[in-house]
Amino acid sequence: MGAIVGFILGYALGTQAGERGWSALLDSWERISSSEEVKTLLTEALGKAPELLRQGAGVLVESLGQSSKKG
């Protein structure tokens, strides 16, 4: 999470620094996107995605079933 906050702060500061700031921002993004923290975050998110999709589909099916009973 700290890497993402750092990127946002870097972006805000980079926009004030002009073209040189943009280059620094891109360099920062390269370091952040290849960091272990970001890789772990993405791995965990992708691991939980199927369960979240199943839950969402269940809620949708239940909602559609209730709607058809009312109509």
Q: What is the pLDDT of residues 22-48, one digit of tens each?
A: 777 788 888 888 889 888 988 999 999
Residues 65 and 49 in one domain: yes
Whether residues 30 and 5 share a domain: the answer is yes
| Same domain for 70 and 42 | yes
Same domain for 25 and 40, yes or no, is no
> What residues make up the domain containing 16?
1-34
Q: Phi/psi of residue 18, each to 5°?
A: 80, -150
Range 58-62, long-range pairs (CB < 8 A, 24+ positions): none
Q: Are residues 63 and 48 in the same domain?
A: yes
Burial of 55 (0-12, 13-18, 19+ CB in 10 A): exposed
pTM for the model: 0.44
